[in-house]
Structure 1
């Protein structure tokens, strides 16, 4: 469960922003909206995190920071060009300031194949929290190399942070029993400046690095241009995943008036979806189906797979062409800890549909606001004086919470 995000000098975020989503043990949770940061932890975090704010306020920037970190950990060894796919804040003072980011999340300690085997066998293992920190050097306005990188753990969430590995400015890497370098020291000679230690070592089957990469692959991102998912890629994926089609049809039948189901018609160009509508003689092809139905289908695989195996699902413009009454239905999937979400999967999204605010608790609401100098501020509604019985919809639109457009 991800509970903390720190960002500095990244895109529209200039000054350090710290988003701490931990929830105290005495906060009531009758709807199963929160989950322990790790099994047995008293601290909890929301399963649903909704980012609201005016256009260009920096909501997508927050999601991009998350995506950047997870992608760097799991995929950076595959990059063939120098530098990084990110930008610093666009002012002169930030041209040479480093980009800093960090995340904290719960998980099994001392991750190894033996620990995974014991978890799968239902045996007790030690849990705690991890902290991944990254600092990028910026030269003449461009991020050039990883200055420092570190992964730390805190067993049971107590005591001081313990090193898993640390990468220093001179490229040296300190290891630990959890992340030993024995037999892999030679990889330090070829560690590229824009590649994470985890991704680089996983490429050569380092046991711990490989497991951390697999954990990072449990995060799905539909952010920015990636949210404009190519129809063919989604159709091909669903066509090759027959176990997902019954689940999709069940939900389509519930939320889409008139749609009885979808099936695939084999063609020389691959599977083509056809929709059966109540009262219509002929099935409807994908191109003639409603924009809202297609938007729902595009995000469904990421939602369904995340709920099935746990992890993180991040969606930009969650409400794009989706009816406001359908949005809370999707968020309720993540509250269903008995059936749909037994592994405490987490959903982060940006949204403009203010009506959804009445279906969210203050712990689930994050606001983004940009000042006159173009700097994004990020804060949880927990940081604002809010009564639990407040009408979030009315107070947000009236500007009490901030994060709304200033017109005129």
Structure 2
């Protein structure tokens, strides 16, 4: 479970920003929350709105960048003299200031604070702390790093010899991931398991659209669950038929598929069911099928899923369907989380979201992106009411974070 993500000086973000999934004291829609170990409440779903090029996608890209470094910094440090990093380029401060990435999260009943500072040449500092639940808000040292100097807890002392020869472009968490130390393994595994998918990436969308979802069609329960999902997202689908392929059953991207899937539709004249290949369904249905394995995996394992441009090619009711899968305790008993960027104001509703679940991004006059939640936004020094028309007020410009359109263009 993600509790908070902080970052600074990455792409359009110069100043430190924080995406905080800790719930406020607001009383509305309590079913939208997950209860933590010490009765703290956290959000199941967070939606991020903003104009094109405002920096919405950069939030998810910042997390993905952090994840890639955690998993691959050792591998990448041997390939190049410089570390891949995109700091804010439109000021001298941005070019000279280190970038920061930090997360607070819970995994397997343990709560951690992990982060690092870096520039293109090296890791400047790195830290990992674990919460001690016997106290209200106390975090205990797992390790700290300043340059190439380290402070380790007793469980990591055995790693001293290998740390001494570690290069300055490698994260300590990456190096230690092969050690059988519970806290290190928990942190590393959480990053591996937390998915970031980007439907603004044409290549990614093409690849998943050409692949069947990872469903064990030999397992009747899994096969039936997938059929039910298809029927829920597309009222025209009345079932599926599975056909085993030959050894030559390869897809366009070269992957071998054990089955071909055909969807069944009702012939309005004969009343009989007609079949078409799954690949011939609408782009919206194909996208939902691509999302299926990510959604199911998150719900079954209580994972965090981040989706950029989730509403692209989806009807608003399909977007709402996905949100409800995460917010409903029956379909989400393990407290999975969904964080997504969107332009779909149909979901910007007080019937669907609490004020602390709604976040906005906008750029200031310097071209710097700012992130803020509706819960902290004030109009005439007054907070937004829970019965406000969020989508109408947003489109009317009351919350900012909308395109600045010159209506005189073309006159």
Shift of 1:241: 8.6
Give the unaligned 5+ runs of structure 1. 109-126, 138-142
Matched, 1:202 2:139: no
Distance 1:371 1:326, change over 3 A: same
- Once residues 5 and 342 of structure 1 are traced to their aligned partners in structure 2, the CA distance between those partners, rounded to angstroms, is 24
Asked whether the 8 Å contact 1:227–1:316 carries over to 2, the reply is no
SS of residue paired to 2:158: coil
The 5-angstrom pairing of residues 67-86 of structure 1 reads 67-79=64-76, 80-82=78-80, 83-86=82-85
Question: Who is 1:277 aligned against?
Answer: 265
Shift of 1:400: 0.6
User: For structure 1, which segment, 354-363 or 215-224, has the greater mean C-alpha deviation from structure 2 after superposition?
Assistant: 215-224
Asked whether the 8 Å contact 1:368–1:376 carries over to 2, the reply is yes
Give the unaligned 5+ runs of structure 2. 251-255, 378-382, 407-411
- Superposed CA deviations along residues 350-375 of structure 1, whole A, max 9, x for unmatched, are 01111110122211111000123221
Matched, 1:61 2:52: no
Question: Who is 1:132 aligned against?
Answer: 114
- Once residues 150 and 245 of structure 1 are traced to their aligned partners in structure 2, the CA distance between those partners, rounded to angstroms, is 44
| TM superposition score normalised by structure 1 | 0.85
**Root-mean-square deviation (Å):** 2.4
Question: Who is 1:362 aligned against?
Answer: 355
Question: Who is 1:106 aligned against?
Answer: 106
- Superposed CA deviations along residues 375-398 of structure 1, whole A, max 9, x for unmatched, are 100111111121011111101100
Distance 1:404 1:30, change over 3 A: closer
User: For structure 1, which segment, 277-286 or 267-276, has the greater mean C-alpha deviation from structure 2 after superposition?
Assistant: 277-286
- Once residues 405 and 74 of structure 1 are traced to their aligned partners in structure 2, the CA distance between those partners, rounded to angstroms, is 37
SS of residue paired to 1:103: strand
- Superposed CA deviations along residues 117-136 of structure 1, whole A, max 9, x for unmatched, are xxxxxxxxxx5642112101
Match of 2:286 among 294, 311, 329: 294
User: For structure 1, which segment, 292-301 or 217-226, has the greater mean C-alpha deviation from structure 2 after superposition?
Assistant: 217-226
- Once residues 355 and 60 of structure 1 are traced to their aligned partners in structure 2, the CA distance between those partners, rounded to angstroms, is 20
Distance 1:84 1:315, change over 3 A: farther
Asked whether the 8 Å contact 1:239–1:264 carries over to 2, the reply is no
SS of residue paired to 2:360: strand
- Once residues 231 and 217 of structure 2 are traced to their aligned partners in structure 1, the CA distance between those partners, rounded to angstroms, is 21
- Superposed CA deviations along residues 62-91 of structure 1, whole A, max 9, x for unmatched, are 111122223332343343533444300112
Matched, 1:401 2:389: no
| TM superposition score normalised by structure 2 | 0.84
Asked whether the 8 Å contact 2:8–2:101 carries over to 1, the reply is yes
